[in-house]
Amino acid sequence: MIRRVVQLADAQGYPRDNLIVFHADLGKVEWRGVRELAEEQAQYYGLEFRVEQYRTKAGKHETLLDYVRRRGKWPSNTTRFCTSDFKRGPGSRVLTQLHRDCLKPETRMLNVFGFRAEESPARKKKQPFVLNTVRSTKPRSDNSRKREVYDWLPIHDMTEEQVWADIRESGVRYHEAYDFGMPRLSCCFCIFAPKPALMIAGEKNPELLEEYVKLEAEIGHDFKNGEPIADIKKALEAGERATPAALDGAWNM
């Protein structure tokens, strides 16, 4: 996604100084090295890199597992606080700060995502370019300024094969989780992940899996409805292993 944006910006003479790479840092629930890799990729193209994390109303940083413990429930398809609070929330703070830093009476921003239609039925339905009516603001007084935010999905139509061909051509390093067989680089243990993906993640991150299992038992709520993550640990302990052939890139998101 970054490469596509940079290519288009360069072709149009748009300054790279106006492009900012933002990473919503999820901490230990992410695969190791994700934040560092995101910064490395930004530096490869000479782009500014910013990081934000979830904060409580009191301004305190809290991990996803802390949040789950406090709520007593894991996120679900209908209550996706892992996305709303830990990704969209920090992203909104960055957009707000950029708006404040810009002294022009009107700020227009592109909020760019690497979503692709192939990834899930929900993402297939997304519009590649749309005005974000929630993040856009209108002047409420003579002293306030207008902000227009557009959501843009520049690689929405790319296939997985095209993505990997582009990555190989770019020479930019990618995360080792893909070599393990993971089709996505999300949280290590995502509620939308199929069992083979959870198996691979558990095999490579046994200590984090143990923490999830203990938290699941503590709050008495299945990680996935009717599919406790403790079953993943039991399967691994019994010698079961997942193969990349058992996976595809589409998750039920």
Domain borders along the chain are: 2-152, 180-246
Q: 109: burial class by Cβ within 10 Å (0-12, 13-18, 19+)?
A: buried
- % residues pLDDT > 90 (the chain): 78
The pTM is what? 0.89
pLDDT given at position 95: 93
Q: For residues 248 and 119, is the Cβ–Cβ distance under 8 A?
A: no
Mean pLDDT of 19-29: 95
Q: 218: burial class by Cβ within 10 Å (0-12, 13-18, 19+)?
A: exposed
CA atoms within 13 A on the CB side of 240: 15
pLDDT given at position 253: 61
The tens digit of pLDDT for each residue in 44-78 reads: 999 999 999 999 888 899 999 999 999 999 999 88
Residue 248 has pLDDT above 80, yes or no: no
Mean pLDDT of 113-126: 92
Sequence-distant (6+) residues with CB within 8 A of 176 are 33
pLDDT given at position 251: 66
The tens digit of pLDDT for each residue in 136-180 reads: 988 776 667 899 999 999 999 999 999 999 999 999 999 999 999
How far is residue 168's CA from residue 247's CA, in Å, rounded to a whole number? 21
Burial track 65-77 (b if 16+ CB lie within 10 A, e otherwise) = bebbeeeeebbee
What does the CA dihedral 19, 24, 29, 35 come to, rounded to 10 degrees?
30
